[in-house]
Structure 1
Amino acid sequence: MPMLSPFQALPLHIAEDIVHYLVGTHLSHYGLPSIQEGKQNTIWSALYYLSRFWRELVLMRICKTIILDISSNTSRSAFKFNHWPLSIKRPNFDISHYVRKVVIVSGHGSPDNSPLYLEPLPDVWPTSLVFPAARSLQIDMCYQSAIAKSYLQDFENKKLGWLAQCIQRSMPGLWEAEIGCSVRKYDHLNCAHTNYISSNVDALLSVVLSRAKKLDADIKSIQLTKNYPYFKDSPGLTSLEYRCYSNKDPIWYIINQNATTLVSLSVTHLHIRTFKNLVIDKKGNPIVYPRLEKLAFCCTSVSKLQNMTKTDDSVVLFPALKHLDCKSAYPFSDDSLFRGNYDTLEYLSLETDADFTNLVKNYRIFEQGKCAKLRHITTANLKNRNRLRLTPEEYIKFTLSLITPATRTVSVCSTKRKQRILRHLPANPYVKDIQILNLPYIRFAFPDIIKLIKLMPSLADLNCMYEGIGSEFKKVKSEDLPQHLHLLHYPLSNRFRSWRAELAWGSSMESIATMVMLLAILCPNFTFAATRPYAYECRFQEILKTAAATKPYAEHSKRIRRLFLNK
């Protein structure tokens, strides 16, 4: 029996890591390995022909995603594995079972470079071609208005209906789908484009919806038909991410049809007045989402809704909600989003105004003892002249009032008032358990950060602006500063480990580097520092390394050196 070399006999997980590493740093637009030429091509060829074991691993990677270009400007449609290594010949055995994702491209040509054709097709997707293990579908359709009307008629009428049938037949295991569909409006043909695409997009979506459990749809400038003939049977979607660019869109029908199965829902660019359709059907009955755990939305208007979105207060609409992300004005005039889920809510991101805080007070949404599992809080003060904004004082007090014993992450995104934050933080006894604090627009001097870390003994990660060493430390000679602070404050914190500094006007990277080194000296587990914008990160690292070699910090080089280990 032949003996295998150690390389051929590597454990599976190590061999998979090697293949993943070779692909991971050379990806094309569609996530495919870019390994056609040069050294990468040679390595792939060597692995492929080494043994059956390695050939399987290579095929699993390079056949993971397959592309079908169905643009009308090609004489035939064809499946291809993009960036197939030129040194590897086409296999004489079936490889369709390696495919995990199918990408269908139309309207803007196919990705470049020489592909390996799996099956040249004259306009037909053969019935024998099945991808049994493919669970993911990506459809990318983009139409230019310069394309002739006859082109659109021929393409849409002949190919999208056919495509819908092929998807239904050839992807029995379809689980998730991403659909991108857009028409670029530049001339008088725009209306024709929209009309020709509409009905066929419905047909295509119907097939995807009937199979997929997770849908990510980005529909731009397209009006779907309103009679919903394809959506009468609920497909049981569990996840839906939808970005819409029209106020007259039937997405609410799809959402309502899947209310009992949805676990994650994200909708953006919808007008706030249409949001009543989330919780009230056409007959005025409440719609319950018994399994929904994540709800994220962003509205294009901040108009008030008042009574038209009030729901029956005896009905719990979102009993399982854990994650709520509201990047706009609160769209309801009652506690529809919070009712009955105090025991499940863990993540909260919202924009506040006076109307919302009054609603919170009237319905006692966040009173003590409620939302006991709330771990992550992010707030912003809504900016709109048509709504009553909170004062900086009110905004800070409201945000800090949300903190519970379970809260570990707090982001305060709409204030520059350092003194108010430092004054109000001690009022909440639960700040001692916060681990991550994000204050992107507040400038702190070094004494302020020392005070903050002492006030929050569990704090591990901080994001803020930096405004200098502070007046009380300016009296200390720079060469004496490390030793002076070490005697006063060491150890400042055993938990503090990371600081992300926002580069503010008037601050320098040299001053930030000084503070980073001082934090490394005072906090035994402080090991990471970065600047924003990230474009300056490389320069900052060089400045930090240079500063670390200077006389006052050289004796602490062992501690400071840990800042560079993860770079």
Structure 2
Amino acid sequence: MDPTQQTLQNLPKHLVQKIACKATNWTPPDIYASLPCIGNPIWKMQKYVSICRSWRYSCMPLYCQDVSLTMDYKMQNIEQNHYWLATIPGISSCHGEQYSRYAHLQVPLISIINGKLPEAMQSAPYNSSVFPHVTVIWLKLSKGAKSQSSDLPSKDNVLLFVQLVRRIFPNAQICSITSSIVFDSLDEENEVGPYATLLFHELMRSMSGIKYFAASSHSFNTSLPQPATLSSITYFECPNSLRYFIELIRSNHRSLQSLYLETTSTDLPYRLVQPTNDGSGDLQYSQLNILSLECSEPAQVSAKYAPSSAVFPQLRQLILHQPYPFTNDALFRGNLKSLQQLSMHLQVQDILLLLRLGILTKQFTNVEHLQLQVFMRDYPFDKQMGSLIAHFPWQIAGSNLQSLSVQFDTFCYKDALLSALQQPSYSSIERQDFLCHQSLEFLRLNAVPLQIHQVLQVIEYLPRLVQLNIDPESIDFDKDIRLQDTVSSSQLLKLQKATQKQPHFASRLRKIVFGLGAFTDMLGAAHFAIQLVILCPRVERICWINYSVFFIDNCKQLADEHPLYKQFSSRLCLVDWNK
């Protein structure tokens, strides 16, 4: 990999695609036309051409890495102007097929079964394009607009489409299918639905094996002709498909690695772990690493669910939107010790229930990454409640916790949160909490309005912190932070000397990342950022994302106006990622 590619890889992907798209299409005539003739001798123009060619060859592998095929003209416009995904004609024109690794097929089902898409794929340049190094195909199925032509749906068109996909991408081994088909009537479902199932079957048969399958609002209601070898399944409330979805998992010839469920069926998670007649049910989850459950209603757990003691023995990541699995541990009996990542979206009443039952207390001793989102809208202010919620993360995880992301919706208990981070001096329980957060290396705070001295407190309380992320709602730009005279400058320098005298203050902190909202006070944000640079001398980068162009202008203006700011502003990451 040349230095140019190494530099580009550190940029956001959409920016890389945009640069690569432009550079790949550069030609010498374009360069000559863009340069004024006066003052540019021919040797200088040739130098520019050489540089641009170098950029072109460096960018081409990045530009051609993802290839897109779509018949959805709205999606074509989005991809070309926002995501900058390369199309098959675009890659063919620059002969970059050898660099492509991933294929994105965004196709309407109607265009397949009526023959329009297969017909287009048999014309130039599709009929001569081959991408030998593409190994992964993402197929996103939409229903599409009903055709006004007289072409009747045909199974032959589905078979032809699969053959053409295999010809263009002959060595693809992994396929991900996402179906977001919504039928307008039962008649339409009966007419069009079987073609979607046929497409799934044929891709599974013709490829080495489909590894990922996601169903959303699509009635997948046909049994498979042969067992699948899926490693990941995503299920979003498909009407009349629950029985076939469970059958799909049960007949799978390998253990799933990830399972994502979003459903109103309150007993679906428990039906999935019911023992089979031959006792092989639990084998489908022996290697399951990721489990995500989002049920819109609390489950009424019945005593009839009695799975074995370790349904998910290798579970590493758990995402929950309701606490009910912990109120009855039929799903998770014997599976908590291996968990490394836990994400929970809870209501206030959920936390009260869990605290009252004591179910989560020090259960996740090996959890390294904890994400907690608590919805508190319209909940009355209560100081005791604030203390309970602020200490809740430390009651869940053990001393291995390294990364914590908390979002307390409309949280007004920031004093309680700071108190929870502070070193305790009495209770042994508090001492255990203190030992937990002493190992934190990454902290993200959402919706906690902190002023600059409170941010310094957070940094002081977490000596091993490496990166701190604070979102727009978490910033309180107090008017007192603005440097308006020499008195405020001297106060800032005194505060800097005080922090430097603390040998362990931000000793490992290297990066602070802030977000900017649409209504953020950009001038206050600039003051906030530069002062953090001054007060945290060991921090290597302070970055701001979103609306960065306005923030950059204010930072440059302040640096020109205040000599003290100008001295330290070079350590800010003043890059507008939006351009």
TM-score (norm 1): 0.72
Q: CA deviation at 1:62?
A: 4.6
Tell me the distance in 2 between the aligned counterparts of 1:469 and 1:24. Answer: 35
Alignment match, 2:438: 432
Tell me the distance in 1 between the aligned counterparts of 2:289 and 2:492. Answer: 49
In percent, how many aligned pairs have the same letter?
A: 17
Alignment match, 2:90: 83
Tell me the distance in 2 between the aligned counterparts of 1:55 and 1:541. Answer: 32
Q: 2:155 aligns with which of 147, 154, 157?
A: 157
Task: Specify the SS of the correspondent of 2:533.
Answer: helix
Alignment match, 2:317: 323
Q: Is the aligned partner of 1:371 residue 2:364?
A: yes
Q: 2:219 aligns with which of 203, 220, 223?
A: 223
Task: Note closer, same or farther for the CA distance 1:213–1:371 as it changes in structure 2 (3 Å cut).
Answer: farther
Q: Is the aligned partner of 1:352 residue 2:362?
A: no
Q: 2:539 aligns with which of 516, 520, 526?
A: 526
Q: CA deviation at 1:334?
A: 2.2
Q: 1:255 aligns with which of 235, 249, 255?
A: 249
Q: CA deviation at 1:283?
A: 5.9
Given residue 444 of structure 1, which amino acid in structure 2 is its aligned partner?
A: L
Alignment match, 2:453: 447
| Partners of 1:246 and 1:270 within 8 A in 2 | no
Task: Specify the SS of the correspondent of 1:525.
Answer: coil
Aligned positions of 1:76-155 closer than 5 A: 81-84=88-91, 100-104=101-105, 105-106=107-108, 107=110, 117-119=125-127, 133-148=133-148, 151=151, 154-155=152-153
| Partners of 1:494 and 1:524 within 8 A in 2 | no
Given residue 532 of structure 2, which amino acid in structure 1 is its aligned partner?
A: L
Q: Is the aligned partner of 1:192 residue 2:175?
A: no
1:427-482 residue CA offsets vs partner (Å, 9 max, x unmatched): 32221221222221111122222222111112231315122449899999423232
Structure 1 range deviating more: 370-379 or 156-165: 156-165
User: Which protein has the bigger helix share?
Assistant: 2
Tell me the distance in 1 between the aligned counterparts of 2:276 and 2:264. Answer: 18
Task: Specify the SS of the correspondent of 2:189.
Answer: helix
Tell me the distance in 2 between the aligned counterparts of 1:139 and 1:542. Answer: 43
Task: Note closer, same or farther for the CA distance 1:292–1:19 as it changes in structure 2 (3 Å cut).
Answer: same
Aligned positions of 1:166-177 closer than 5 A: 173-177=171-175
Given residue 197 of structure 1, which amino acid in structure 2 is its aligned partner?
A: V
Task: Note closer, same or farther for the CA distance 1:463–1:67 as it changes in structure 2 (3 Å cut).
Answer: closer
Q: 1:293 aligns with which of 284, 289, 292?
A: 289
Task: Specify the SS of the correspondent of 1:461.
Answer: strand
Alignment match, 1:498: 511
Alignment match, 2:570: 561
Tell me the distance in 2 between the aligned counterparts of 1:409 and 1:345. Answer: 14
- The number of aligned residues is 504
Q: CA deviation at 1:318?
A: 0.8
Task: Note closer, same or farther for the CA distance 1:406–1:197 as it changes in structure 2 (3 Å cut).
Answer: same
Unaligned runs of 5+ in 1: 1-11, 72-79, 121-128
Q: CA deviation at 1:261?
A: 2.3
Alignment match, 2:197: 202
Alignment match, 1:461: 468
Task: Note closer, same or farther for the CA distance 1:138–1:434 as it changes in structure 2 (3 Å cut).
Answer: closer
1:105-126 residue CA offsets vs partner (Å, 9 max, x unmatched): 344687x9xx951427xxxxxx
Q: CA deviation at 1:493?
A: 1.9
Q: Is the aligned partner of 1:479 residue 2:482?
A: no
Q: 1:396 aligns with which of 390, 395, 417?
A: 390
Unaligned runs of 5+ in 2: 32-48, 74-86, 423-429
| Partners of 2:176 and 2:211 within 8 A in 1 | yes
Given residue 160 of structure 1, which amino acid in structure 2 is its aligned partner?
A: V
Task: Specify the SS of the correspondent of 1:177.
Answer: strand
Task: Specify the SS of the correspondent of 1:373.
Answer: coil
Q: CA deviation at 1:418?
A: 0.5
Tell me the distance in 1 between the aligned counterparts of 2:389 and 2:405. Answer: 12
Q: CA deviation at 1:342?
A: 3.8
Q: 1:547 aligns with which of 536, 558, 576?
A: 558
Q: CA deviation at 1:198?
A: 1.7
Q: CA deviation at 1:561?
A: 1.0
1:484-508 residue CA offsets vs partner (Å, 9 max, x unmatched): 2123222542323333446689973
Given residue 373 of structure 1, which amino acid in structure 2 is its aligned partner?
A: N
Alignment match, 1:311: 306
Alignment match, 2:498: 488
Task: Note closer, same or farther for the CA distance 1:171–1:340 as it changes in structure 2 (3 Å cut).
Answer: farther
1:88-145 residue CA offsets vs partner (Å, 9 max, x unmatched): 6x8xxxx9887644555344687x9xx951427xxxxxxxx98664422233443345
Task: Note closer, same or farther for the CA distance 1:33–1:544 as it changes in structure 2 (3 Å cut).
Answer: closer
Task: Note closer, same or farther for the CA distance 1:98–1:560 as it changes in structure 2 (3 Å cut).
Answer: closer
1:398-417 residue CA offsets vs partner (Å, 9 max, x unmatched): 22212322111112212331
Tell me the distance in 1 between the aligned counterparts of 2:526 and 2:62. Answer: 46
| Partners of 2:20 and 2:60 within 8 A in 1 | no
| Partners of 1:330 and 1:351 within 8 A in 2 | no
Task: Specify the SS of the correspondent of 1:225.
Answer: coil
**RMSD, matched Cα:** 4.8
Task: Note closer, same or farther for the CA distance 1:480–1:392 as it changes in structure 2 (3 Å cut).
Answer: same
Task: Note closer, same or farther for the CA distance 1:419–1:212 as it changes in structure 2 (3 Å cut).
Answer: farther
Tell me the distance in 1 between the aligned counterparts of 2:150 and 2:231. Answer: 39
Alignment match, 1:238: 231
Q: Is the aligned partner of 1:511 residue 2:530?
A: no
